Structure 1
Amino acid sequence: MNPSESAAQVHISPSVQLTGAPEAGAYHLTEEQIRFFDEQGYLILRNWVTGELLERLQAAGHRWIERGLEDGGANRDHLFAQREAGRVMWRVDYVHDKGEPVSLELLGSPQVLGVAESLCGPNFVPTYESMVFKFEGDGEQVPWHQDAVHPRTRRIFNFDLYLDESRVGGGALRVIPGSQGAPADICALTDEHGWDAPDAIQVEMQPGDVLLHDVMVVHGSERAQGKKLRRTIYYEFRAAEEIVEEGPWDREWIERRMRLVPLAIERFRHSGLPGEPFEWRADEAFRPRSLGTEAEELRVVHLTHMAGSYCSAGDVPLKAESKQANSAD
């Protein structure tokens, strides 16, 4: 794309041609989809989460926001940002212990775990879980960034489930396909091109659509006025082998995090939701021992993070009061 083109002319992602509503149980990615993800750094899965599961997640999203507004950030997992219009809530971290069982049911669903196994292998680790959102009329930008920078020996990706539509002209996510191969000079990119970066696309999403994005693909969203509420649930996944080799966490942390997997599968199994439960095939070397106390297993905090790539500390997405090194849009 010519850098002189206006923001409205940035191309809309064509990747819907590669995806569609899957048949029951067919939630592993195809070779074509994996190849597209590896080459482009993202992949759209249309109508991936539907029906009762989507409806329950949308209702849970409203309740997460209500509880955060009620406590005003007293719970540190409820993140607020200072904007021109005042103090605004924008994120809920560690959603599994926030009183809504459906978040764990989603994690244990074949829609999520089939993708995780496809991209990370059988020893996948659920490393982050959050909901990020923008209120109606709150169209603050999320500057260009890479979520995390790593040696790229294995895939690290985010599973982004959209609970609301995200349209061009309303702050839709922008992605630079193929930009995941190396650390990016975000300041130079921003100074030279602004939002009209060469080859950038806009990703339009509907409720129930899923965006898979490599944590190193450059992405962001420009400021938009008068946009509707947009909520996105993010689950990040990495291979246990990658964490062992590169950190930033240890084997004990991996074991604690992987306890979420059998717990989530069991929650899905008893949820009444349609679909065959996922068959977990992790190696015995990584299979965790249950603590027997669900409360301990639902919230495994991060004492350290893998650094991302931003233009400056002042441009970390949404200028959060609490620094989040693994912020996502």
Structure 2
Amino acid sequence: MTTSNEHLTSNIPQIASYHLSEEQIRFFDENGYLILRQWIPQDLLVRLQNAGEHWIEKGKSIDANDPLYEDYAFAEREHGRVMFRVNYVHNKGEVASLELLGSPYVLGVAESLCGRNFVPTYESMVFKEKHDGAAIPWHQDAVHGRKHRIFNFDLYLDTSRADAGALHVIPKTQLQRQDLCALTEQWGWNPPDAIVVEMEPGDVLLHDVMVVHGSEEVEGKALRRTIYYEFRAAEEILENGPWDREWIDRRLRLIPPALRHFAASYPDADQFQWNISPEFRPEVDESEEVALKVAHIHHTAGSFCSSLSKPSKR
């Protein structure tokens, strides 16, 4: 198995828009992933790292009767109960997540891969604490008809190394549903084309939701946090669901406050120009709080080996 350092990556872009190049898009389409090295500026990265600490602290102390309790995911390990995920990060009291969403570093990529009518469909932080080295079996996040791209923007807040639970990816597996039981039985964690994605804080992994990925069990060595934003084209959602036009409109109401927060915090930075089609431009509600959490209820089914523990979405 090789490491991702031997594959195409990108340095800090030299264009203000932060759109992907034709070469980068071609690599993503062929392989199902793309790495953007040091894509997030240091000051925003620090704000997000601090936000991540606060989300974890809040989840560990939240009362089971709190309306937000269901947004924190826990698992039972051999050494006890651990938290591993925070959903709907925008309404958790840390504006940095909205600043990230409204930045050209995210929206330029979303427009590059999904077109002008991109929709932010999921936002979460997934993490492994220092002593939590549980495996995430090989899986595909969501299986769909592939008329449109659906991808995750994965921002790493901490270093991720091959010997400490780094993500494994099997390039070129995104074109169809994979038999993950057969793959696991034959190869375990060592399929011949698999790579280990080693990352530094501020690095971004773009991954197609159908590319096969997972992480093997290791002895937990350090905190590893990743913020995930998923994007789909509005046209794709209308064609394939699992949501409707009203849901699209509500999700798109996240963009205006995100743009405002980024501009307020970074007035001298390049600002993203939102070019959404008039037919999809949302009726903006001045109540920002309402826009910050739009529950999913339904999900696009993924693929995993049912004889193994089912991974959480994403």
TM-score range, shorter chain: over 0.9
1:12 pairs with 2:12:
no
Of 193, 196, 199 in structure 2, the residue corresponding to residue 199 of structure 1 is 193
Please report how far the alpha carbon of residue 125 of structure 1 lies from its aligned counterpart in structure 2 after TM superposition: 0.0
1:186 matched to 2:177? The reply is no
Give the whole-Å Cα distance in 2 for the aligned partners of 1:42 and 1:275: 27
Q: Which of 22, 30, 34 lines up with 1:39 in the alignment?
A: 30
Q: Which SS does the other structure have where 1:181 is aligned? A: coil
Q: Is the 8 A contact 1:140 1:223 kept in 2?
A: yes
**What secondary structure sits across from 2:174 in the alignment?**
helix
Q: Is the 1:52–1:273 Cα contact (8 Å) retained in structure 2?
A: no
Indicate which of 304, 307, 310 corresponds to 2:298. 304
- Measure, in 1, the Cα distance between the counterparts of 2:174 and 2:64: 34
**CA pair 264-144 structure 1, distance change in 2 beyond 3 A:** same
Please identify, of 11-20 and 45-54, the stretch whose mean Cα deviation from structure 2 is larger. Answer: 11-20
Q: 1:133–1:232: 8 Å Cα contact kept in structure 2?
A: yes
Task: Give 1:154's aligned residue.
Answer: 148
Q: What amino acid sits opposite 2:246 in the alignment?
A: E
Alignment correspondent of 1:67: 58
* 1:229 is the counterpart of 2:213: no
- 2:278 is aligned with 1:284: yes
2:46 aligned with 1:21: no
- Superimposed CA distance per residue, residues 14-35 of structure 1 (whole angstroms, 9 cap, x where no aligned partner): 4664410123624100000000
> Aligned-pair distance for 1:50?
2.2
1:114 to 95, 99, 108: 108
Letter matched to residue 175 of structure 1: V
1:73 offset after TM fit, Å? 5.6
Match of 1:87 in 2: 81
The letter for the 1-side match of 2:156 is Y
Q: Deviations over 1:134-153 (max 9, x none)?
A: 00021101000000000000
- Give the AA of the match of 2:13: P
- What is the alpha-carbon distance in structure 1 between the residues aligned to residue 222 and residue 27 of structure 2? 30
Where do 1:89-104 residues align within 5 Å? Answer: 89-104=83-98
Work out whether 1:209 is the aligned partner of 2:200.
no
8 Å contact kept, 2:17–2:272: no
Structure 2: how far apart are the matches of 1:177 and 1:15? 13
Distance (whole Å) between structure 1 residues aligned to residue 42 and residue 288 of structure 2: 27
Equivalent pairs, count: 311
The 3-state SS of whatever aligns with 1:199 is coil
Q: What letter matches 1:178 in structure 2?
A: K
Query: Alignment identity in percent?
Result: 61
Q: Gapped runs of 5+ residues in structure 2?
A: none
RMSD of aligned alpha carbons:
1.3
Residue 311 of structure 1: how far off its partner (Å): 0.4
**Separation of aligned partners in 1, 2:120 and 2:83:** 25
CA distance in 2, matches of 1:18, 1:303: 36
2: CA distance, partners of 1:37 / 1:105: 25
TM-score (norm: length of structure 2):
0.96
Segments of structure 1 that go 5 or more residues without pairing to the other structure are 1-9, 318-323
> What's 2:47 paired with?
56
